[in-house]
Amino acid sequence: MQPQRLYRLDQKIGGILCQFIGLFVRRYRQLPPPSNWRRIAVAKYMGMGSLVLATPLLQILRRNIPQAEIALVTATNLTEIARMLPVDKVFAWDFRSLTSALITFPPFIAELRRWRPDAFFDLEFFVNTSALVAFLSGAPVRVGFHHAQSPRGRLLTHYLPVTPRHTSELFASLAWALGIPVEPLPSLFRLNYDLKRVRDEIRSLSQPYIVVNPNAGELALQRRWMPERFHELLQRLLGTFSSVHFVTIGSPSERTHVASVLSDLSTHPRIINLAGLLNLDELCFVLEHAVLLVTNDSGPMHVATSLGTPCVALFGPETPDHYGPMGEGHQVIFKRLPCSPCLTPFDGKLFPCPFEVQCLQSIGVDEVLEAVAEVISKPQKANSLT
């Protein structure tokens, strides 16, 4: 199901359900303290990158409540990356279509209730249905995000506003709201991918290589830099770094877009197009062994960051203040125009740009090329090119 349709259904139907059920919510007079928790559910249903950004929170919970079993509650299409995270169990809801969402919702909730979570961390910003799942799970402690115009807060026992800080810090702040120490904030968890699932031909890719990701995921296609500029960038990178190969990536649904970016470069001997050809373990392997990743604001950016690979990241409709690559050694290009960022959780990231995406149009090939050269000039990366 398209994210835009999901959002509209959630705002209408989910909002009504939250308002109605909220009228009958019984407030617990005494909630179990974290020291008594045995089972913790952490829910994030959309965004591969957001799951990676949740790993500092998961580590905080493990550090402070070591006796508890931690479960990730997510969508079925994210279960593959869920198994790479520091969790003990995964609950998955299939909402790839409205029919599958309705059919699988009752058994999904029933399984959650049988598990009997003591606490439920809802990491969706303003999704009504996720607050509904938290309530129906039976968890006595339910924490998430809320704003004054949203009905979802009626179903939570604790909530926080979305403040102007990095998403990983926002997620961790939910633990703070419950009195759990969050400092020092952990780094991103290194994804625990399975090397056995990486084919020999992927392990033997020509080295050194730079990965190029011209995609941005279906949650917000507006984040994609112009394909003709990615094409020109690749042309110039090929001419500048004569000993380097370039690997393009993408999901099966993005393969056509990547092919349009490559165009006449698709047969170049130093271009390796792996879009649509990798499983998630292979994607992790490719990103971990790259010199760097050139990418739009996207999930693979956070995967690469968790694996220690530096990024040259292009931001436009969203802000790196919320979603930038964590850690040192990255180069972020963001113009910070008066209209940017326009994709925010307050409207489901559906704002229609009236300015022809000037935030990305204003990013030139020259400055991206300079950013790549800057990252490669670092001693550890310069050595990998020799």
- Clarify whether residues 122 and 266 are in a common domain: no
Residue 8's pLDDT is what?
78
Helix-strand-coil percent breakdown of the chain, rounded to 5? 45, 15, 40
The per-residue pLDDT for 261 is 96
Residues 260 and 132 in one domain: no
- 218, 364: one domain: yes
171 and 29, same structural domain? yes
- Encode pLDDT of 307-344 as tens digits: 999 999 999 999 999 999 999 999 999 999 998 888 87
CA 273 to chain centre: 23
Mean pLDDT score, 355-378: 93
* Helix or strand holding residue 333 (H, E): strand 331-334
Confidence at 7, pLDDT banded by 50, 70, 90: confident
Q: Is residue 189 part of a domain?
A: no
Containing domain of residue 361, as a range? 195-384
DSSP state of 86: S
Same domain, 151 and 214: no
| Inside any domain, residue 256 | yes
Alpha helix stretches (DSSP H) within the chain: 3-9, 15-22, 48-53, 55-64, 79-82, 98-115, 128-136, 167-176, 200-203, 227-240, 255-262, 280-288, 299-306, 320-323, 358-361, 365-376, 379-384
Q: Give yes or no: residues 252 and 158 share one domain.
A: no
- 213 shares its domain with 249: yes
In a domain, 187, yes or no: no
Taking the CA atoms of 330, 336, 342 and 344 in sequence, report the sign of the dihedral they define: positive
Q: Are residues 209 and 148 in the same domain?
A: no
Q: Count of domains in the chain?
A: 2
CATH of the domain at 82: 3.40.50.2000
Q: Which of these three, 120, 149, 176, is where a domain ends?
A: 176
pLDDT at 67 over 80: yes
The pTM assigned to this predicted structure is 0.93
**Final residue in a domain of this structure, among 124, 145, 176:** 176
Domain end among 176, 204, 227: 176
Report how far residue 325's alpha carbon sits from residue 166's, in angstroms, rounded to the nearest whole number.
Answer: 10
In a domain, 181, yes or no: no
CA dihedral (211, 215, 219, 220) in degrees, to 10, reads: 120
Distance CA 318, CA 336 (A): 10
Is 348 among the domain residues? yes
Predicted local distance difference test score (pLDDT) of residue 156:
94
Instruction: Please indicate, yes or no, whether residues 66 and 207 belong to a single structural domain of this protein.
Output: no
Mean pLDDT within 168-194: 97
CA dihedral over 7, 12, 15, 21, signed as positive or negative: negative
Residue 218 pLDDT > 90, yes or no?
no
- Check whether residue 306 and residue 165 sit in a common domain: no
Are the beta carbons of 273 and 248 closer than 8 angstroms?
yes
Sole residue written with tokens 């959780």: 345
Q: Return the pLDDT at 381.
A: 52
Share of the chain above pLDDT 90, in %: 76
Query: What's the alpha-carbon Rg for the chain, to the nearest Å?
Result: 21
User: Which of 157, 158, 184, 147 has its CA nearest to residue 169?
Assistant: 184
In a domain, 182, yes or no: no
Looking at the chain, the whole-number percentage of residues with pLDDT higher than 70 is 95
Beta pairing partners, 69: 39
User: Is 301 a domain residue?
Assistant: yes
Mean pLDDT along residues 83-94: 97
Picking from 67-71, 76-80, 147-151, 276-280, which range would have the lowest pLDDT averaged per residue?
147-151
Q: Evaluate whether residue 183 is within a structural domain.
A: no
Q: Same domain for 242 and 333?
A: yes
Whether 150 and 260 map to the same domain: the answer is: no
